[in-house]
Structure 1
């Protein structure tokens, strides 16, 4: 006989199993796993972020979404994947950038994820998960009740298992519908922005090749995505109807894409892998970029700087070559030497907050009091353009302390801790700053925002 306490425990376990299964059902769900204890390692890179912003801006406009309200985050993961986590963020794996041989391939993936955002699939799927949890729990309770009423253990187990399968299949069917809808929206946005869907089609064909060896054994009712062959057939039929199907990528965009691919490969993969991608026979700008980064990563900064100087000679207007030169000098103990290339990078990319903060860091790193005001200006502007930079706030705190402006130093420390997610430390610094700031001033109000912050549950 099953007592009530055991029944409640079994139901809770069953719902947890269902929820865990649901977490993996869609490209719009990986961040739910992070909410349940897994972490996502993010990358920051001004060059890649600028490129992907240029990719997404017209698509977001076509979808009726504000470009200023949607952010793309880069994930330190070598697999080909992209996903949405809420109504404001698209996550793109480094592997998706490296393995996209053309801009159009990555743009197609981004268009699909924007389709998820525009259709509000994530919140709808979460609501469906809650609904299915309830239905499955009721089915489980029915199975347990049948056993308690004399239906037998086998009958009760079958009913309980059936309830879980019902819930899982229902969610997977819902996810498949969302994926198909996102594909159709992606095709719509690509056509509206005058872009080809060929890259999207090529990407799905690649996935089909990976799936082919197991397709004979796949039950389509337990897949989170439509079977690749079905998906490709729909995409290809619609894509070929577009007058833009054979439209090539813009050469300037392709050149930028190649450089970002090379940078990410060189920074995230081992030297042998990078050299296979960019052998000595490849004399392209992207290949030389990759080799310069590999030289820096593997303890040959002098060679890296020489390679960068050659790159700058070939393309003197590229802000990111100057940025990397400054970064190498800063990180190898020459902050004063880093200032000139970083100033040049800022002049070429004036809205790149990451680069301004690095310039501020170099200025602070010299220890030269004559450069403190310039450091404060660079850091303040850099953080204003890109607030998600704990390092920038910490460098600003150092600069203010050198000016003996302790209240603003404490406020900057509070903001840095807050940006890093250390709320308790942030509040301590904010309280200390507020005590010495003029009541009601902008700085006092910023401190007050941190002091009164309450994390959402």
Structure 2
């Protein structure tokens, strides 16, 4: 993307060059679109717990801030509007402890409290103004007969516009760093992890430049990691919270979550190399269970899970994995007992409940249909943003002969995944057979109206 902006432009590509710059700005504002969200009950509970004191320190309501895991191996985290922090799975795999993740979250909360996404347009407007002016001056030079001079003016203008935008962005990053340090101190959490993670970022900079000097500090979206470390170290080191230690129980949970991510995201061979058979820790059993399962060795995966369950029979997440492996190995009836234990132990986690509902349907036993429907209704009531749960609930309603509510569940799913045409059609089909004025009818009407309005907007655009 950066190369496209800075590469030489022929006169015939003049407007295309401006479009590239403006498109680049819009893409930076929407970084989630091409990435996948990972949903895992244990990971979400952990991220919510470790972020809660930071969210409170930032003056935000914990229930209104989401920490969302993105399935991406790169080391990154960002905010993209609203009160949501997105963390790449690669960042968690790279982190050494809970405190480093908290340092990242504190920084991203600084972006939220600073309104940096809302203020994004300020930097874009300044950059766009410079670009338009350079286009006018360059066109005038070309009209006067100097094509080379005109192109030089345009190229210099694009370079200046990009530099201005990046400078604006670096100021916001430095502001988020300072705010993050304040949140950590107020929450009584050490900033040591924030500093140690910057050392990792500095190593990444060295990986992509043969010498540190080759990384132009004026062409970076963030201040250079060394500069950030120097700017923050004084405040972090003098903080009364600097020597505070993370609860060992949280550290143990972090190791488990990191291991399961490696087992799930990495190539199975790589995961097994990182967690060899000689490693008897719970984290290693976790990683190997996922790796063997992904590598289509269900018996080996089951052996690893059996060791986990033997060490902690009441752990809901060990039971969840046990049930998942049985279900995905074609043994849904055997999966029911561990999944019921997992739902109970997790206090009705909606993600685990939806998995239980799926297993109940997969048994193809009509005696399990009512339980599947009831479990899934509770799951979607507690987490409406789960398309798979809505899909499974629709199947349960259909097999129970309740077609109108099957259509309503289908409408919910299509609305979530952005298929407005099918959402509207399913909602209208539900409305035709659900009694008018009931809560289900009103919900179907809301989906239909929203989908119709969105379709009209798309047509006008």
Aligned residue number for residue 434 of structure 1: 431
Q: Is there any run of 5+ residues in structure 2 with no aligned partner, and where?
A: 1-9
The corresponding residue for 1:266 is 263
CA contact (8 A) 2:174 2:228 kept: yes
1:38-437 superposed matches below 5 A? 39-149=34-144, 152-212=146-206, 213-437=210-434
Is residue 24 of structure 2 the alignment partner of residue 18 of structure 1? no
Segment drifting more, 225-234 vs 416-425? 416-425
Taking the aligned partners of 2:69 and 2:204, their CA distance within structure 1 comes to 24
**Counterpart secondary structure, 2:69:** strand
Shift of 1:22: 4.0
Shift of 1:61: 1.6
Q: Do the aligned residues in 2 keep the contact of 1:140 with 1:161 (CA within 8 Å)?
A: no
Quote the residue 2:30 is aligned against.
Answer: 32
Alpha carbons 1:14, 1:140 under 8 Å: kept: no
Deviation at 1:327, TM superposition (A): 0.7
Higher relative contact order at CA 8 Å, sep ≥6: structure 1 or structure 2? 1
Q: 1:415-436 deviations in whole A, cap 9, x for unaligned?
A: 1222222221111111111011
**Structure 1 stretch 442-451 or stretch 362-371: which is displaced more?**
362-371
SS at match of 1:74: strand
Distance 1:9 1:70, change over 3 A: farther
In structure 2, the CA distance between the partners of 1:100 and 1:23, relative to structure 1 (3 Å rule), is farther
- For structure 1, the 5+ residue unaligned runs are 1-6
Using the alignment, how far apart are the partners of 2:168 and 2:340 within structure 1? 52
For residues 218-244 of structure 1, what are the alpha-carbon distances to aligned partners after superposition, in whole Å with 9 as ceiling and x for unaligned?
A: 332222111222111012111101122
The farther-off stretch of 363-372 and 116-125 is: 363-372
Return 436-445 or 388-397, whichever deviates more: 388-397
Q: Deviations over 1:192-216 (max 9, x none)?
A: 1110111110110111123244321
> Which residue of structure 2 aligns with residue 4 of structure 1?
none
Q: Could you say what secondary structure the match of 2:117 adopts?
A: helix
In the aligned structure 2, how far is the partner of 1:304 from the partner of 1:65?
41
Contact (CA 8 Å) 1:11, 1:137: kept in 2 or not? Answer: no
Question: Is the contact between residue 204 and residue 228 of structure 1 (CA under 8 Å) also seen in structure 2?
Answer: yes
Cα separation, partners in 2 of 1:423 and 1:141, compared to 1, 3 Å: same
Measured after TM superposition, the shift of residue 250 of structure 1 is 0.9
Q: How far, CA to CA, are the matches of 1:34 and 1:244 in structure 2?
A: 34
* 2: CA distance, partners of 1:307 / 1:10: 59
Q: CA deviation at 1:325?
A: 0.7
Going from structure 1 to structure 2, the CA distance change for 1:418 and 1:100 (only over 3 Å counts) comes to: same
Instruction: Confirm or deny: 8 A CA contact 1:11 1:141 kept in the other structure.
Output: no
Deviation of the 1:439 alpha carbon: 1.0
- Answer yes or no: is the 8 Å Cα contact 2:126–2:165 preserved in 1: no
2:441 equivalent in structure 1: 444
- Cα distance change on mapping 1:294 and 1:220 into 2, 3 Å: closer
Whole-angstrom distance in 2 between the partners of 1:377 and 1:153? 72
1:351-380 residue CA offsets vs partner (Å, 9 max, x unmatched): 421001111111112222222221111001
Residue deviations 1:76-134 (CA, integer Å, cap 9, x gap): 11121111111232211111111111000111111111111111112212332134213
Where 1:246 maps in the other structure, the secondary structure is coil
Shift of residue 303, structure 1, vs aligned partner? 2.5
Q: Could you tell me the TM-score, scaled by structure 2's length?
A: 0.91
Partner of 2:5: none
Structure 1 position 21, deviation (Å): 4.8
Give the CA deviation at 1:451. 0.7
Aligned length in residues = 442
**Alignment partners' CA distance in 2, 1:267 and 1:48:** 13
